[in-house]
Structure 1
Amino acid sequence: MCRTARDDRATTPRRPHLPLRPLWLCRVCAGPWPCPVARLGLRREYAHDRIALSIYLCTVLHDAAADLYRLNPHDGPDPAALYVRFLGWAALPEP
């Protein structure tokens, strides 16, 4: 008897790794956004316009800093850590 297994991965749409605001965690994997999957997606989306990627990331960095500070004004977010998280990876050459 021959059974054909259906590969659900091919037909199931993948959920985008978007930020959950104001926590700035990934909605799918719960890691700090942009998570590795989101970074790959952003690199792919902005492959031909790295300047636009930097501008977008500066915008979300600004929003994240404001949101995270509002959540915890006494121990506000570390600016250097936010830079590395949101912009530092984008400046590196692609692997």
Structure 2
Amino acid sequence: MTARPRPHLPMRPAWLCRNCAAPWPCGPAQLALITEFYGHSIALAFYLAASMQEAIDDVYGLGLRPDPSAMHARFLGWLSLARRSRRH
């Protein structure tokens, strides 16, 4: 019996990947999200924006101050790169 690969899901409130411990969405999570939302890029952007807001809320809940530009790059910044690479 072959073990199923573990999904790369966020662990809250740290928003680290449960599988690889990288900041979520990690590379494998990004690939999985692109696959899951294929053809629905606007829905993916909304999902990631909502996740970013939850992550910001969690950071404040931990008594820290989030870096808005870093959070944007982490959650949404890679979307334009993913769309560009799919076009070529």
TM value normalised by structure 2: 0.89
Measure how far apart 1:68 and its partner are: 1.0
Q: Distance in 2 between matches of 1:86 and 1:38?
A: 11
Work out the percentage of aligned pairs sharing the same amino acid.
49
Show structure 2 runs of 5+ residues with no match: none
Larger Rg over CA atoms = 1
Aligned positions of 1:1-95 closer than 5 A = 11-73=2-64, 76-92=65-81, 93-95=83-85
Report the alpha carbon displacement of residue 53 of structure 1 after superposing the two structures with TM.
0.2
Q: Distance in 1 between matches of 2:11 and 2:47?
A: 17
1:94–1:43 Cα change, 3 Å? farther
5+ long unaligned stretches in structure 1:
1-7
Superposition misfits of 4+ residues, deviation over 6 angstroms: none
Aligned length: 84
Supply the AA of the counterpart residue of 2:72. Y
| TM-score normalised by structure 1 residue count | 0.83
> What's the C-alpha RMSD, in Å, of the aligned pairs?
1.2
Shift of 1:80: 0.2
